[in-house]
Structure 1
Amino acid sequence: MFKEKKVAELLTEEEQVELIKEWWKKNGTSVIVAIFVAVAAIYGYQYWQKSKIEKSAAAMQEYYEQTEKLNSNDKKTKEAGMQLAEKYIEKNDGHKVLSTFTALQIAKEHVVANEYKKAEEFLQKALSINDDKSLEPIIKHRLAQVNFATGNNDKALSYLKNPPESFLSLYAELEGDIYFDKGEKENAVASYKKAYSSNKEQNDKSKELIKIKLKNLGVDPEKTEKVSVKGKKNA
């Protein structure tokens, strides 16, 4: 019932990188080099030596170029981008954030092609490469989405344990979808209730969707009592 929506979310979340791409187009590598030089001038760290600055700038430029190819509508260009991206992950182990984003991009392309096993492989790579704690819940949520899409419900649930507070509603909603798919109505209701109560945005569309899911299961999230589909209250 909800699998198509969850896979779609996996794709549309990537659209957020368009802002980053636009910034790159306007500013390019020269700005990054300037920032690194400024940092070196202020702090005087030997780490920011000229060779390292140039290497970092080159890695970022390479990241931008392969991202452009990955987002191309031309099949051959996209395939070339996939090859570059895979090599990029292996080569740029010193730029873990960029390598993590690259692995996420490759995973997205495999989802588009309905290659969920390959998508999971690169999401696992992203998880192992990543050293930014703020990205970890995003990667785990996507791993849960991919496993849910392929029917690996228990494995999907394993990625949704102990989310940070800011991800609680997102995780709980997906957890509810998985329990619903497993036929575990009570667990689904409990998860949806948690998702609804932890979503603090009053006019948020996702909160309205959670409300609809609960009502489809005979529950009014704004009341403590369960209501039947016919509208009668049950103890």
Structure 2
Amino acid sequence: MDVYQTEEQQVEAIKGFWKENGTAVIAGLVLGFAGFIGFNYYKDAQLANEVETSDAYQTVMESAGKDEQLFSTSANKFITENKDSSYASLTAFALAKEAATHKDWPQVAKHLTTAIESATNQGIKAIASVRLARVQIQLEQYTEALVTLSVTLPESFKGAVEETKGDAYFKQGKAELARNAYQTALDVEGQANNSALQMKLNDLAQLSSIAK
């Protein structure tokens, strides 16, 4: 404030500033305060909604294994009403598990597809994708399984993805593609961590030698 030579000039400058800008400053403060209140209200409302969704999910899960029809009805209703929540995917997984106990693979595939579509993080999406591909192989839908696995998934699932691709290729009679996929999976996971995968490669090599 050294441009002002007296305190009087400083006071007059402040008065002039408030006269010209006071209304705007006050309005800005009011709006800012209102925004702060609104933001906190939003956070509180969001938290309350998450707690409510969690409670509803727990209620649905409690009916699993007790009343199959009630569980199916309430679970599907929950998914419809909470399709943007991570709980929707978890509920779809539970429905898929229930259907798998009856070996109803088309229903399992349907629920896993729902789990993929409603997934809110890549980990859940990857788990559902690999499981869906395996079910599609069970249904002899080999091309569909490969399409399911063609999307970009986290690197940590590469081994599972490649092994499942190998299974699909093997069922299609594409031995070379199956071998390459199995080998890639084995390179990722290591032989010590997946002896079953090594057995698949060994069996494939034996079949190839017999065919020759």
TM over 0.5: yes
Instruction: For 1:201-220, list aligned pairs within 5 A.
Output: 203-204=192-193, 207-218=194-205
Q: Deviations over 1:60-118 (max 9, x none)?
A: 11211211221x2x4xx132112111111111245x10011111211221222222222
Q: Percent identity?
A: 24
Q: Flag as ranges the 4+ runs of structure 1 deviating above 4 A.
A: none
Q: Report which structure shows greater RCO (CA 8 Å, sep ≥6).
A: 1
Distance in 2 of aligned mates of 1:199 and 1:106: 30
Alignment of 1:44-193 (within 5 A): 45-49=40-44, 51-70=45-64, 72=65, 74=66, 77-94=67-84, 96-161=85-150, 162-193=152-183
Q: Supply the AA of the counterpart residue of 2:198.
A: K
* Stretches of structure 2 lacking an aligned partner (at least 5 in a row): 1-38
Further displaced range: 113-122 or 139-148: 113-122
Instruction: Provide the C-alpha distance between the structure 2 equivalents of 1:228 and 1:151, rounded to a whole number of angstroms.
Output: 26
2:79–2:91 CA contact under 8 A, matched in 1: yes
Taking structure 1 as the reference length, the TM-score comes to 0.65
Decide which moves more: 103-112 or 80-89. 103-112
Give SS of 2:75's match. helix
**Which of 1 and 2 has greater Rg?**
2
Which one has the bigger helix percentage?
2
**Cα RMSD (Å):** 2.3
User: How many residues are matched?
Assistant: 171
1:211 Cα deviation (Å)?
0.8
Code of the aligned partner of 2:137: F
Consecutive unaligned residues of structure 1, counting only runs of 5 or more, are: 1-43, 220-226, 230-235
